[in-house]
């Protein structure tokens, strides 16, 4: 099932628990608007979702950053909201405003979702992966991904992004059984989806829990940790050798519990987590990934150089994957990304 023996790539070796110097590096949202060649391809389709659903173009933008930069992994170009779309929820991306969904706020709307139709709607992602892996250098792994059940559920209930995920959290407090049904559906669908990505050629997986930080501890255990553990267990039952990175963004001190209890192979860290704390509390449990401020990559200059050096100094002596603490921003100058790659790969700009 595995395209690449893990010994041949620093990302996969790191995910297996080894320390690599220099550490492997990839960047969240590395295929995206900061690249002119991405904007050119994006201009060929009318909507963002069409780009995700057109394997030829999605494969092309997945490969673009690898042509420019010495990155240690590709990540399939898609969106976490492809899953609600596959379940039959109306999803659109409004230019400059972000995603809009027909919100689901009761058991009836929940009943309208249909897991049966999901496989067909997700097939273009699998084809994208097949196209990418056919063209990627053999030593470079492709990362597949999905949104965590909690984060995807917040979009489904809120009808889009929101400041504090209040609608989803309130529904979960008031109608716990219905919210649990939604989470269960997302666990099952996401497990199939991740396994489909592995079958198509993904060598590693990441679960994005972008809104994990809005949950108090008991709800974090119930809606973030438990569903993630079930999702990881289901994936590992059929793909035991494919490492899974969990990224519970904003979870602060709760990240430690997440690392202990979910069964993930590595944890993504956001910019608010101090690097010594990451080293002492998380890297002692699992390999860590992160956590450069994406705004520093926009700003560049000596601040960037110093921060990269401190991150490497704090985390480089254990299993570590260099990444941002959140996705790369559209305003990021390409020369700053080049500089970052030099800093990480050679220790000098």
Q: Which residues are catalytic?
A: 29, 33, 42, 79, 155
Cβ-count burial 137-156 (b if 16+ within 10 Å, e if not): eeebbbbbbbbbbbbbbbbb
**Residue 313 touching a copy of itself (CB under 8 A):** no
- Give the interface size with a copy of itself as a residue count (CB under 8 A): 37
DSSP 278-335: IIIIITTTS-EEEEE-HHHHHH-HHHHHHHHHHHHHHHTTSSEEEEESSPPPTT--HH
CB of 107 vs a copy of itself, minimal distance in Å: 17
* Interactions with a copy of itself, residue window 164-203 (CB under 8 A): 166, 169-170, 173-174
Of 176 and 317, the one with the shorter C-beta distance to a copy of itself is 176
Stretch that binds a copy of itself, among 14-22, 101-109, 200-208, 252-260 (CB under 8 A): 252-260
Q: Is 94 a residue that touches a copy of itself (CB under 8 A)?
A: no
CB of 132 to a copy of itself, least distance (A): 30
Can you tell me which of 107, 112, 301, 333 binds a copy of itself, judged by CB under 8 A? 301
Residue ranges with strand state E in the chain: 74-75, 91-94, 98-101, 142-147, 204-209, 244-248, 266-268, 288-292, 320-324
Pick the stretch among 61-69, 122-130, 232-240, 265-273 that binds a copy of itself (CB under 8 A): 265-273
Which neighbouring-strand residues pair with 143? Answer: 75, 204
In terms of CB distance, is 104 or 275 closer to a copy of itself?
A: 275
Tokens of 102: 């027909």
If binding is defined by CB under 8 A, does position 296 make contact with a copy of itself? yes
For residue 248, list its beta bridge partners.
Answer: 209
In whole angstroms, the minimum distance from the beta carbon of 64 to a copy of itself comes to: 24
Contacts for 338 with CB less than 8 Å, ≥ 6 apart = 68, 69
Cis peptide before 114 (omega within 30 of 0): no
Q: Enter the tokens of residue 219.
A: 């709800």
Residues interacting with a copy of itself, by CB under 8 A?
163, 166, 169-170, 173-174, 213-218, 250-254, 257, 271-275, 277, 281, 291, 293, 295-296, 298-299, 301, 303, 307, 310, 325, 329
């Amino acid at each position: 099932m595995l395209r690449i023996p893990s010994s041949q790539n620093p990302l996969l070796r790191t995910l297996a628990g080894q320390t690599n110097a220099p550490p492997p590096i990839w960047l969240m949202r590395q295929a995206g608007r900061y690249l002119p060649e991405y904007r050119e391809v994006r201009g060929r389709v009318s909507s963002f979702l069409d780009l995700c659903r057109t394997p030829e173009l999605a494969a092309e933008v997945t490969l673009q950053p690898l042509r420019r930069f010495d990155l240690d992994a590709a990540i399939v170009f898609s969106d976490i909201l492809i899953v609600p779309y596959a379940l039959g929820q109306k999803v659109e991306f409004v230019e400059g405003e972000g995603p809009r969904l027909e919100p689901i706020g009761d058991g009836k709307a929940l009943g309208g979702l249909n897991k049966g139709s999901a496989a067909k709607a997700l097939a273009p992602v699998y084809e994208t992966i097949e196209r990418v892996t056919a063209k990627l250098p053999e030593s470079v792994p492709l990362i597949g991904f999905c949104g965590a059940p909690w984060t995807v559920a917040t979009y489904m209930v809120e009808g889009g992004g929101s400041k504090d995920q209040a609608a989803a959290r309130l529904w979960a407090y008031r109608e716990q059984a219905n919210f649990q049904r939604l989470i269960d559906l997302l666990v099952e669908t996401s497990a199939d989806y991740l396994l489909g990505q592995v079958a198509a050629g993904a060598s590693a997986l990441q679960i994005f829990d972008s809104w994990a930080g809005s949950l108090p501890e008991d709800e974090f255990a119930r809606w973030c940790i438990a569903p993630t553990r079930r999702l990881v267990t289901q994936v590992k039952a059929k793909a035991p050798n494919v490492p899974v990175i969990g990224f519970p963004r904003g979870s602060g001190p709760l990240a430690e519990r997440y690392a202990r209890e979910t069964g993930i192979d590595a944890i993504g860290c956001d910019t608010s987590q101090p690097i010594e704390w990451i080293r002492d509390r998380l890297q002692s449990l699992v390999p860590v990934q992160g956590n450069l401020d994406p705004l520093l990559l926009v700003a560049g200059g000596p601040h960037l150089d110093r921060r990269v050096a401190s991150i490497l100094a704090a985390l480089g002596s254990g299993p570590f994957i260099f990444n941002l603490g959140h996705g790369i921003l559209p305003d990021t100058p390409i020369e700053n990304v080049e500089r970052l790659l030099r800093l990480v790969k050679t220790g000098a700009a």
